[in-house]
């Protein structure tokens, strides 16, 4: 087998030694043999040139035999050091259970093309003025992928693949086509469950995504650009990603090519087990650039069970507003490094309030699972069962303690709206809240006389994030007007709506204020 040798060009590798190194051993044996022969020629020993030649011949025979045995052993053993020579077995095992999904959905094109309703625009482009062309709705066809997860026809896919679909068609690798029905969808996680009427179908075994490690090999299977079923190979690039496209996400990042049409397809390990469902990619060109994301099975399959039972998902909640920890906050609390998430607010009449959690507490873990960021806390709590009692390890006043919290069902949107009145999301992709006296000591770089609004969340794909606004920043001014209340913030954003939002922002970590212009 040919491979690249460290620090050199391509060489042959057999067994546990480079072939070049085995030849060096043979050369060393020959040199050693010649030296022994010279010793035999000295006056103190019997001279026998014939015996020296015989030794050299035997040495070469031994070296050749060593290499031959090694080559034969490698050929018999197959993969070297656990590496596969071919991935055909994995593909053959999993491809039959990955299907193509095509949908029909009605789209309101008047919202996409406002000029379509203008008679002057129509006449200029010589567009017919009849019922067909005046109809604001049109049928749109889209393509995606799905994963058969049971022999009786349950198929896992993305919500955005089947959302608002009036007709769903499922096609298997052998061109067998079925019409599918939606069992349930969960937009916050972009998971959907559909079903076809069939039995004895090929399906993929569910693997344990929690056991995946960065660097593990994975294979992505789907229908990119509608060209037909395709497999691509890569590794796990990162775990626990949150790219702001879903309300709840704990994504697997991979460099296996994921393109439009791969959504809903399978991400499998080298045992042919499902570890994720392809969901998104980051690209400047519209095609794969080696940054793809998959929803882990640990999350997707919990959603599937709920959809199977009720067609909806019931989520548990805690009732706190968490914030990431940074080094300055860790120093304030006497911690050697940032750990856990900081509670900036405990909402009244919530599980957290009833359990005695307080503003300023730091949540380190939930049932022994380390919490690294606010997104992770949301995921762990939301995927817990309603009514379950969880054990929180927290830090309060510099001391660690444990608090038991009985989780409750996430409230209806109307109730959430009442709680969220203390926050504002008027600026697209940005959530802010008013500063409190309890929060000031946690920001030791914040001047005592500084007033503003705390940024508690910034979507990574928003214009504000692109201009450098981040969680933990303090918005001091909007359009050169000071803002210390949510009412003032909304009023300032309502002015000069034809221009970018001009912000003066205090960066607590740098201890300085800057100006940012955010496109609307």
Asked about 141 being catalytic, the answer comes back as: no
Asked about 365 being catalytic, the answer comes back as: no
Of the listed 142, 160, 375, 473, which one is catalytic?
A: 160
**363 phi/psi in degrees, rounded to 5:** -90, 120
Of the listed 142, 145, 186, 190, which one is catalytic?
A: 190
**412 phi/psi in degrees, rounded to 5:** -65, 160
The whole-angstrom separation of Cα 11 and Cα 49 is: 37
Contacts of 60 by beta carbon, 8 Å cutoff, 6+ apart: 26, 29, 30
Looking at residue 361, the DSSP 8-state letter turns out to be -
The β-bridge partners of 14 are 17
The whole-angstrom separation of Cα 363 and Cα 393 is: 6
Nearest to 225 by CA among 178, 181, 257: 257
Asked about 288 being catalytic, the answer comes back as: no
Of the listed 249, 263, 365, 384, which one is catalytic?
A: 263
Reported as type and span, the H/E element at residue 441 is none
Beta strands in 329-450 (DSSP E): 341-346, 362-366, 369-370, 389-396, 399-406, 408-409, 423-424, 430-434
Give CA separation, 503 vs 143, 170, 496, 515, in Å: 41, 49, 13, 6
> Six-digit token pair at 129?
């003025």
Contacts 24+ apart (CB under 8 A), 72-81: 73/15, 74/1, 74/14, 74/15, 80/1, 80/13
Nearest to 352 by CA among 314, 321, 329: 321
Contact 47, 53 (CB under 8 A): no
Nearest to 161 by CA among 175, 141, 136, 179: 141
> Six-digit token pair at 430?
């940005």
Give CA separation, 456 vs 313, 344, 469, in Å: 26, 9, 11
Residue whose token pair is 């080094």: 327
Number of H helices, E strands in the chain: 14, 30
The whole-angstrom separation of Cα 264 and Cα 276 is: 9
Catalytic amino acids? 160, 190, 263
């Amino acid at each position: 087998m040919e491979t690249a040798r460290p620090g050199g060009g391509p060489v042959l590798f057999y067994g546990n030694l480079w072939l070049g190194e085995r030849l060096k051993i043979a050369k060393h044996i020959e040199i050693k043999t010649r030296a022994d022969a010279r010793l035999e020629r000295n006056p103190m020993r019997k001279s026998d040139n014939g015996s020296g030649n015989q030794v050299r011949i035997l040495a070469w025979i031994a070296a050749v035999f060593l290499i031959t045995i090694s080559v034969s052993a490698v050929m018999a053993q197959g993969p070297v050091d656990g590496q596969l020579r071919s991935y055909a077995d994995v593909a053959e095992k999993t491809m039959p259970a990955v299907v193509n999904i095509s949908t029909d959905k009605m789209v309101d094109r008047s919202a996409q093309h406002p000029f379509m309703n203008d008679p002057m625009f129509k006449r200029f482009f010589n567009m017919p003025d009849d019922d067909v062309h005046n109809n604001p709705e049109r049928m749109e066809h889209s393509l995606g992928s799905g994963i058969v997860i049971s022999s009786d026809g349950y198929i896992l896919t993305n919500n955005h693949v089947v959302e608002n679909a009036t007709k769903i068609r499922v096609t298997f690798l052998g061109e067998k086509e079925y019409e599918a029905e939606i069992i349930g969808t969960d937009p916050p996680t972009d998971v959907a469950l559909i079903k076809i009427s069939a039995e004895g179908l090929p399906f993929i075994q569910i693997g344990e995504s929690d056991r995946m490690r960065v660097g593990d090999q994975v294979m992505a299977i789907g229908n990119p650009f509608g060209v037909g079923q395709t497999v691509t190979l890569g590794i796990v690039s990162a775990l626990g990603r949150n790219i702001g496209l879903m309300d709840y996400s704990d994504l697997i990042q991979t460099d296996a090519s994921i393109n439009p049409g791969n959504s809903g397809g399978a991400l499998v390990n080298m045992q042919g087990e499902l570890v994720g469902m392809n969901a998104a990619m980051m690209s400047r060109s519209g095609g794969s650039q080696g940054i793809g994301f998959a929803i882990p099975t640990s999350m997707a399959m919990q959603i599937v069970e709920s959809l199977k039972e009720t067609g909806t998902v019931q989520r548990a909640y805690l009732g706190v507003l968490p914030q990431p920890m940074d080094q300055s906050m860790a120093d304030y609390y006497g911690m050697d490094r940032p750990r856990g998430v900081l509670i900036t607010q405990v909402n009244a009449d919530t599980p957290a309030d009833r359990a005695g959690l307080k503003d300023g507490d730091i949540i380190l873990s939930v049932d022994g699972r380390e919490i690294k960021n606010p997104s992770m806390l949301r995921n762990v709590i939301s995927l817990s069962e309603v009514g379950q009692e969880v054990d929180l390890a927290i830090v309060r006043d510099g001391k660690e303690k444990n608090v038991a919290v009985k989780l409750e069902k996430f409230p209806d949107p109307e109730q959430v709206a009442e709680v969220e009145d203390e926050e504002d999301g008027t600026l697209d992709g940005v959530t802010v809240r008013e500063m409190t006296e309890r929060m000031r000591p946690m920001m030791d770089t914040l001047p005592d006389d500084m007033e503003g609004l705390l940024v508690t969340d910034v979507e990574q794909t928003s214009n504000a994030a692109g201009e450098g606004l981040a969680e933990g920043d303090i918005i001091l001014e909007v359009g050169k007007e000071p803002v210390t209340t949510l009412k003032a913030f909304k009023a300032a954003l309502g002015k000069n709506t034809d221009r970018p939002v001009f912000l003066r922002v205090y960066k607590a970590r740098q201890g300085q204020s800057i100006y940012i212009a955010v496109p609307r």
